[in-house]
Every structure is written in structure tokens, then in C-alpha cells.
Structure 1
Amino acid sequence: MKSVRTLCFLLVSAIFAHADNNVPTIANDFVFTFFNSHNTSPLSDALLLAIVSNNNNGTANIIVTSSYLSFTTIRVSVAPYSVLKIPITPESIQAQFPGNVTADGHIIVEDKGIRLQSDLPVAVYAHAEAYGGYSTDSFLVLPAIHLGMQYVAVTSTQPEGTIANMIAVVAYQDNTQVKIGTQTVTLNALQVASVASYGNLSGTVISGNKPFGAISGCTCGFGNPHEGCSYEAVMLLPGSGWGTQFAAIPLMYLSTNWYQVVANTNNTIVSAEGTTVATINAGEYREFQIGAALVTSNNPVQLIQIGQVSFK
């Protein structure tokens, strides 16, 4: 019998050193996008969902819109204290669908942003899966009020062959000038600028003149150990939301987990239970493996938990 534990790419639950660094996840307005989930020729089996959690004692009325011409506006209601899965179609709404063949790192601009609004505060997750669920991931969608103007990408450090790492940014306002690495582009609201590369994009700085959302990861990244690949995506925290203390807890069935950390300050020292696991400069990243631990740093960092794929 074969069982699969999918690889996930999630922001570690953080205990921030300063209360003003906390980033609430419940709000009324969200923008996000999906980047391509197919690592080969496109198959019409990609499932895209916006998952809405309503923890209010009243019904939340939701409207989902997009700049994508083939998208039809969605209006739904979420009952009190319940979760609703909203299918997002067509699957071609994914950035760089059916995939960037050359993955040469150049910016591609598309009208593929998604906006979700609610009359009551809700939490939103974006979910994508392909190949019958063998390649899947979900990420927390940050509320629009907490979008920032500078991010640092985290992607797979083990991309292979024709499998691309990706960065996708979505504008919240018109005339948003965004810089991804050394490339600059101007976007209007809900336009998406994406970059795909067969190389590692971790540490790439993404900045803009107005708040915008940024998602990064891999079409099908390999975890550690190198057992199999799965879709990886995370909505990045702006640098202003980074922290210095993190509760690292291994995923279910694991005694240890791999983590990736990125910094935006030179001479940043990262420790787990008092033992140094990484010393990095601005724009650098490191991966390390630990069990349950309190991870601390002398400067704010972004810490990502990497899942594993196993076949039994």
C-alpha cells in the first residue's frame, strides 16, 4: 500500500518579540494569486480553492472577483462558525499556466489577480492541487491591510530539470511599481507579475512603491530528504512583519523537520534552543533540520517550515 505525506511550504507560527509585529489573519479584504501547479504539460485536473473560515455568529457574505477575463464573479455565503471551500475556475487563471517552458527568469505580466471581500471578518486560505492530489499545498492569504512593500522570496533549494521555482506578485492598487530582483515593472490593481526559474530564487528581494502581495515557492519542489516532489507555495510576510522568536513544531508523524530561514540584516545569528544553526547576511538563506524547539534570532528573520514526502 502506498501512502503519501504531501510536502507543504508554510510560515512557521511565530511568537514575535514585539507585540506590534503581530500580523492578524482575520479581515474583510484579501488579494492573492495562484502560480502554475503543473510541472509538465498541462493536465485538466488542477483543483484551485479559496477556503474561507467564518468564526462569527452571523453569516458572512463573500464576493470573489478577478481581472482575468475568463473568470466569473462569485457570490456566496458562509454560515456562522463554519468553513466553505470556493472553487476558483478556470484553472488557466494560474500565473504562467500552462507553465513557462524556458523558465528564463524574465517577468511575465498577466491579468490573473484574485480579490476576496467579506462583510464580516474571515480567514482565507488558497489551496491548489494537481495530479489527483499527489501534488498539493495550501497557504494562508494575508489580509490586504497587512500587505507590505518589501519581501524576500523563499523557494525550493532542490529544483530539478523542467521544474521551475516561481515568484508571483499581485498589485492591490493601480500604478504599483514592483521590482523583482533587478527587474522592474508597473502594475495596475489585480495584475500579476511572475518570474519562473530552474535556479534557486531564495533570497530574491521583492520591493514596490505601494503595498502588494507576494507568493513564492516551486511548481514541484523536493523536500528533505530527497524523496519526491510536490507543489509548494507560501504568501510571504513583508519585512515589517518578521520576528525574532518562533515555535518550531514538526509536522504530524515526524520527529524533526527541515526549515529555511532568510534575513535582511547582516550578521544575523539564528539559534534553536540556544545552539546556533545559521549565521547569515541580508538576502542570504540557510536550511537546517531540528525537532520541536524555540528558534530565536538577534535580528528579525522569516522562517519557513518545509514538509516531506514519503511513500510506504
Structure 2
Amino acid sequence: MMPELADITITSRGETLEELPSYSGVYRFYSNEEALLYVGKSVDIKARVYSHFQEGRKPGRHQRIMTQVARIEAQATAGEIGALLVENAAIKAETPLYNRRQRQVRKLWTIHLTRSKDNFLQPNSADFSPWGERAQDSYGLFHNRRHVDNTIRRHARDHGLCLRMLGLDAGKGPCFQYQLKRCDGACAGDESAEDHNARLLSVLDRDRIAAWPFPGPLLLVERNIRPLPQQPKAQFHLVNHWSWLGCFDDPQAAQTGSKETRDTVFDRDAYRMLMSALRKGKVELLDAESLAEMDNPILAAAFD
């Protein structure tokens, strides 16, 4: 039988609350044995948890979760960006029972671009390590080299790119695909390297993983001009080479955290969240070491 919300303990930072808070943040469902059942996020925790109880009245997955809930832990964030980042990290680090299982970090491949002597950009398969620095743009994540090769050839076929100029076809002069009218003629002098490169970059851009555009670790500042009780007015997200390294309630604590040795592990979901926040200009940027304000190159690029 599903418990009533009034019979469930509600806590925040270890303290017991009289009712669920309505601020944005992350919530965790625990069983009687303190097993973590589920991690979720919302811009209004109270409303979202109530909807869980409504959905739990019908047979199915939600009912299986809600019948076990004995405690709800609420964690406030300054806004939606923090809720997204904290939830994503919590699911992967804490492995709750009923959240979607996350794949283990494993070896992946990506595409890097080099220039030929004729100034044509050529895609090459490269090892994509989840660890370390993101020193150059990468395009896509693939399970093996063959997947990389098949993807490049499909792009060439669909967009009139020349396999010879891409470095995937040996020989000189017009290529065979040009004779079949599947190549727009870069190999025959009908198209310039600049035009061919621009089309290739346009095709690849959807899957681009940008090089880290800052000289060191960064603080993304999310502010709330009308915080609710117990909700932070601002939070400082420590990020380095697209790796989210934690959330802090004051800049000095974040600054101290930036000086600690931390592994930068690339997470595709966190990358997309961070890029979205930067593109929309929803955060302020501070240098994590000096706390000096920084320009947003991602936002600037969107207006070029």
C-alpha cells in the first residue's frame, strides 16, 4: 500500500522540514532501510513530488517506487541549471535503484580535423579519452573506427562532399563519385577548398564537442533575484574542460575548490547542459582562480 505523504519524513541538509519546499532543486526518495530509490529534479520540488504521488496511484513503475518511500531529501539550488547539473551528477555517482542505468565510461572514438596541403579539411578518427583536457574541437562520439568511417562516407554521399578531398579516396583528378554526380566537384576544380570546408563544418557542427575556450577552471554563476526561504540567492558551479566539479554557495569556497586536484572527466549530458546555459547567456562567468569577470565566447559566437 502506498504511504501518505504526511507519514513520510522530509529533510533538507539533515534537518527535518514540516512540509515539502517549493524551491528549485533536487529531491531523493529513500526507503525504510535508507536505500536510495530515486533522484529527480524540478523548478518546484513540492509540485513535482505531489505529481509522483498522483502517478503512483496507478499500477506500474511509479507505484512500485512510491510504495517504498519513507523519507524525501530536498536539496535546494539557485535555479534550473543547478538542478539539472546536480541531478545528472547524483544519478551517475549514487546509482539510485529506479533511475535509468547509466553506461560505464569506456573507450570511444571521435573525429578531429586536419588540413591537407591544398587547404582542404580532412576528418580523421581519434581516440576520445573521457579524462584529460579538451584542447581541440571534436565531432561526435563513436564506438569504433568503422563507425567513424561509415559516418564520414554517409555525410559525403548526402552532402556532395568529395571523398578524395576528405582523404578517403586515393588518386588524382575527378573522382568516381563526381562522374556519378554525387560529388560537387572539389576534385575537379568546380568547388573551392573554402566552400567545401564550410559545408563539411556545417554537417559536423551538430555533433561538435568544443575545445575548452578558457585559460583555466571557470565558475558559472547562477543567480536568483527572488529566492524562497532556505534557497540560495546564487550558486557557483566549478567547471574545467567541460567537467562539472561541484556546486558552491559562495565564491570563496568555489575558489578554494578550484585549487584542489580534481580529475576532469567528460560527461556528454553535463556538456550539453553547460553549453545550453552558455549559449542562452543564463549565467555569469568568473575566473575560478582570480574571481575576475570573464566574457562568454559561446554567447558571442552565436551572434557572429
The TM-score bracket by the shorter chain reads: under 0.3
Q: TM-score, normalised by structure 2?
A: 0.24
Structure number with bigger Rg: 2
Which has a greater percent of helix? 2
| Greater per-residue strand proportion | 1
| Bigger relative CO (Cα 8 Å, ≥ 6 apart) | 1
